[in-house]
């Protein structure tokens, strides 16, 4: 039996080497490079370390020395707390977690809430980053860029980095076309997500309608507008809502406003399934029959979409796959290719039975 160090002093390679009577290098090799010593000695050392309660090298010191931590950072474009409540983000994170676990990488969640002043230097820890969503003026993102570490961007694009996206415009157009083709005398409302910079649920103005941009929402809006034009229909900005967060609460406010408008919309194009779910709830509350009196389409195809009643017609984007792909690009070092993932129109019950 070996004499253990005092409980309060954490064990180090050096202290353990003293107790075992071998050099620090040998113990380090026992853990990291089995070929550098005899199997017999290695086994003996590993067993003795276990007895002592030394579970292996300190990650911080090893990271400093090797310049590699085994940690992957996921940079989100809003507060963490928000992302845990968003079903789309949850699927995305699920995909990431799956791949990282398989590759023995740790997952560090980084929110943009980091203020400029209080710089923690956290960006120096991870070996690479998955950046989810446009990082408008996010100081942490700037610092991440300057680390020159591997980056994969998702749902937006930046020169020189691998990215994963979908064709939001085409997908939005397709689902809108389908909805409009099944609507007589269409009276359209659009419930948009993050169309403008405001924390309030509100309608957008005519000016804002033409403020083009490259964001996910703007692409979807463009797709909707294309469908509306091709069907020789039209819509004014006061039938287009801005919803700041993809939450049931915000969406419910917008849905209530939209379905209280006269003339009442009979076709609501929603930029997420969460929003569409809220529309369904308000429709039930107001005794509006879906799909007979009101067509509703969503976007994302979250798990709940197939369980609403009536089940939601929507655009399937494989969010889990997005996460998996982002993580595996990072892990494999495929750092240049820009991927457009396919989407699919999912016809359920909210447009036609």
Partner DNA sequence: TTGTATGCGTTATCAT
Partner DNA sequence: ATGATAACGCATACAA
Question: Which residues contribute to the site for a second copy (CB under 8 A)?
Answer: 7-8, 10, 53, 55-64, 69-71, 79-81, 84-85, 90-91, 93-95, 97-98, 100-101, 104, 106-111, 113-115, 118-125, 143, 146-148, 248, 277, 281, 284, 303-304, 307, 309
User: For helices 39-52 and 13-20, what crossing angle results, to 10°?
Assistant: 110
333 binds, among DNA, a second copy, none (CB under 5 to 8 A by kind): none
148 binds, among a second copy, DNA, none (CB under 5 to 8 A by kind): a second copy
What is the chain's percent helix, strand, coil content, to nearest 5? 45, 15, 40
106 binds, among a second copy, DNA, none (CB under 5 to 8 A by kind): a second copy
Are 154 and 132 in contact by the 8 Å Cβ rule? The answer is yes
Cβ 62 to DNA shortest distance, Å? 4
Chain residues in the site for DNA (CB under 7 A):
10, 12-14, 21-26, 28-29, 31-33, 36-38, 41, 56-58, 61-62, 64-67
Any alpha helices (H) in the chain, and if so which ranges? 13-20, 24-32, 39-52, 59-66, 80-85, 87-102, 139-146, 168-181, 206-209, 216-230, 248-259, 273-285, 319-332
Cβ 169 to a second copy shortest distance, Å? 28
Q: Give ∠ CA 347-325-328 in degrees, rounded to 5.
A: 160
Cβ 34 to DNA shortest distance, Å? 10
174 binds, among a second copy, DNA, none (CB under 5 to 8 A by kind): none
324: Cα within 13 Å, side-chain hemisphere: 8
Nearer CB in complex with a second copy: 62/318: 62
Cβ 88 to a second copy shortest distance, Å? 11
CB atoms inside a 10 Å sphere around CB 69: 20
> Which residue in 198, 195, 255 sits closest to 225, CA to CA?
195
Nearer CB in complex with a second copy: 58/336: 58
Cβ 260 to a second copy shortest distance, Å? 20
Nearer CB in complex with a second copy: 133/223: 133
85 binds, among DNA, a second copy, none (CB under 5 to 8 A by kind): a second copy
CB atoms inside a 10 Å sphere around CB 214: 10
| Contact partners, residue 43, CB within 8 Å, separation at least 6 | none
């Amino acid at each position: 039996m070996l004499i253990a160090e005092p409980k309060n002093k954490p064990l180090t390679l050096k202290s353990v080497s003293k107790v075992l009577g071998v050099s620090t290098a040998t113990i380090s090799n026992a853990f990291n490079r089995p070929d550098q010593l005899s199997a017999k000695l290695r086994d003996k050392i590993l067993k003795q370390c276990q007895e002592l309660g030394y579970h292996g090298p300190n990650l911080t010191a090893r990271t400093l020395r090797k310049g590699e931590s085994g940690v992957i950072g996921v940079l989100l474009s809003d507060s963490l707390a928000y992302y845990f409540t968003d079903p789309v983000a949850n699927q995305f994170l699920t995909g990431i977690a799956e791949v990282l676990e398989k590759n023995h990488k740790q997952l560090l969640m980084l929110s943009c809430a980091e203020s400029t002043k209080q710089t923690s230097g956290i960006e120096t820890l991870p070996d690479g980053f998955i950046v989810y969503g446009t990082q408008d003026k996010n100081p942490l993102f700037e610092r991440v860029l300057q680390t020159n570490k591997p980056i994969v961007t998702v749902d937006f694009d930046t020169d020189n980095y691998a990215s994963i996206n979908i064709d939001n415009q085409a997908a939005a157009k397709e689902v809108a076309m389908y909805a409009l083709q099944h609507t007589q005398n269409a009276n359209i409302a659009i419930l948009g997500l993050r169309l403008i910079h405001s924390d309030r649920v509100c309608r957008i103005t005519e000016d804002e309608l033409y403020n083009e941009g490259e964001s996910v929402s703007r692409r979807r809006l463009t797709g909707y507008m294309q469908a509306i034009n091709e069907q020789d229909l039209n819509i004014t900005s006061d039938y287009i809502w801005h919803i700041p967060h993809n939450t049931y609460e915000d969406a419910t406010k917008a849905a209530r406003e939209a379905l209280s408008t006269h003339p009442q919309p009979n076709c609501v194009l929603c930029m997420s399934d969460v929003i569409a779910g809220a529309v369904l709830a308000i429709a039930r509350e107001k005794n509006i029959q879906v799909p007979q009196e009101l067509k509703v389409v969503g976007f994302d195809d979250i798990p709940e979409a197939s369980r609403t009643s009536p089940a939601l017609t929507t655009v399937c984007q494989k969010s889990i796959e997005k996460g998996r792909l982002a993580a595996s690009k990072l892990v494999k070092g495929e750092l240049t290719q820009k991927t457009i993932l396919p989407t699919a129109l999912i016809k359920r019950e909210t447009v036609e039975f």
